[in-house]
Amino acid sequence: MKIITESTPAADGFRMPAEYESHEGCIMIFPERPDSWQYGGYAARRAFSRVAEAIARSEKVTVCASEAQYDNARAMLPEQVRVVEMSSNDAWARDYAPTFVKNSRGEVRGIDWGFNAWGGLVDGLYFPWDKDNRMARKLCDLLETDVYDKRDFILEGGSIHVDGEGTGMVTESCLLSKGRNPDRSREEIEDILKEYLNLSTVLWLPCGIYGDETNEHVDNICAFVAPGEVVLAWTEDEKDPQYAMSKACLEYLEQAVDAKGRHIQVHKLPLPKPVLMTEEECRGLDECWDEPTRRPGERLAASYVNFYISNGNIIMPGFGDPADETAKEILQGLFPEREVVQIYARDILIGGGNIHCITQQIPEHC
């Protein structure tokens, strides 16, 4: 593995492919920490395993497990899933794994961004985060891809989306948060994204999903489904604080123009009714950083936008809500060639994210 410090993906002719382009495979992490996941991760491991199984129907899946969980992961996961030992502080592959870029010859490289648990000592979610922050490089080593060192810039994979044709999409609430790169201006941040993801246009949604602890990652509110086309998490309930947030995003998107000069077509994806933590669920969680991780009645950042596009399927969350079926039908209509698989994901949501957050695609390479 070569560590590249003297050039950038754009300078070298590499770009980040869209998630709907062909994958080599997918990276996941086996969940374990008892302050993120109920009952020492018991329920989450079952949900993650279902996600891994669904993705493995059409692409290779590599699951990273701690030494302690390795045997258990191997026993729970189907034999076509590869399990490798790798330490982490938690299980958010989207945010710790490298962002992969690819050139026109089909070579793939990784980008190793800095990671500080979604805000470091300002508003990060746990301490320490050193094992997470080492994963991108370890994964590049494992996969034998060279890696760009950009650890001086804090970024999570869940905070960016790209259309594969020169357009990126982020949220202001996250990328301009005080806990990430407070000394960089919006223009400097945009320039880094353009240089590392090889973009000419960055769309800046104002915000994300209400209560999303990641400072509102874009991948929970809005996702490209094709160049020039997005799904946006939506509610018709004007009294819901999410209404104004989704509306602000819609208004931004309605005036936006992408890298190819296209106006963005927005498909509204309904939100489930607010998903609230129960007392029983709270009892299943250890404390984190000297505080309860969740409190009874706390609203979780549930959204159907947090799906994963595999080579053959759309793997999307379900919440046992009437909107589950509507959202599934909308996504199935938008991805007619990929069968939508809906997985009951409350046990992932409790950890603070969803299916997109726990997966990271590796582009197909030569």
Rank residues 33 and 180 by Cβ distance to its own copies and give the closer one. Answer: 33
Of 282, 288, 357, 366, the active-site residue reads 357
Q: Is 97 in the site for its own copies (CB under 8 A)?
A: no
Rank residues 71 and 287 by Cβ distance to its own copies and give the closer one. Answer: 71
Considering only residues 27 to 56 of the shown chain, the ones binding its own copies according to CB under 8 A are none
Report DSSP letters for 116-138, one per residue: -TTTHHHH-SSS--HHHHHHHHH
Span from 98-106, 130-138, 199-207, 277-285 in contact with its own copies (CB under 8 A): 130-138
Span from 65-73, 294-302, 342-350, 351-359 in contact with its own copies (CB under 8 A): 65-73
Span from 70-78, 109-117, 153-161, 306-314 in contact with its own copies (CB under 8 A): 70-78
Look up residue 104 and give its amino acid: S
Span from 7-15, 50-58, 138-146, 224-232 in contact with its own copies (CB under 8 A): 138-146
Look up residue 11 and give its amino acid: A
Report how far residue 259's alpha carbon sits from residue 218's, in angstroms, rounded to the nearest whole number: 18
Pair of tokens at residue 171? 């949220």
Rank residues 112 and 190 by Cβ distance to its own copies and give the closer one. Answer: 112
Half-sphere exposure of 79 (CA within 13 A, CB side): 0
Report how far residue 110's alpha carbon sits from residue 192's, in angstroms, rounded to the nearest whole number: 15
Q: Is 299 in the site for its own copies (CB under 8 A)?
A: no
> Min. distance of Cβ 146 from its own copies in angstroms?
9
Q: In the annotation, is 357 catalytic?
A: yes
Instruction: Pick from 137, 262, 267, 365 the residue near its own copies by CB under 8 A.
Output: 137
CA-CA-CA-CA torsion for 12, 9, 183, 171, nearest 10 degrees? 140
Closest residue by Cα to residue 172 from 132, 127, 202, 201: 202
Closest residue by Cα to residue 18 from 180, 160, 153: 160
Q: Is 266 in the site for its own copies (CB under 8 A)?
A: no
Contact 116, 154 (CB under 8 A): yes
Q: Is 151 in the site for its own copies (CB under 8 A)?
A: no
Catalytic center residues = 357
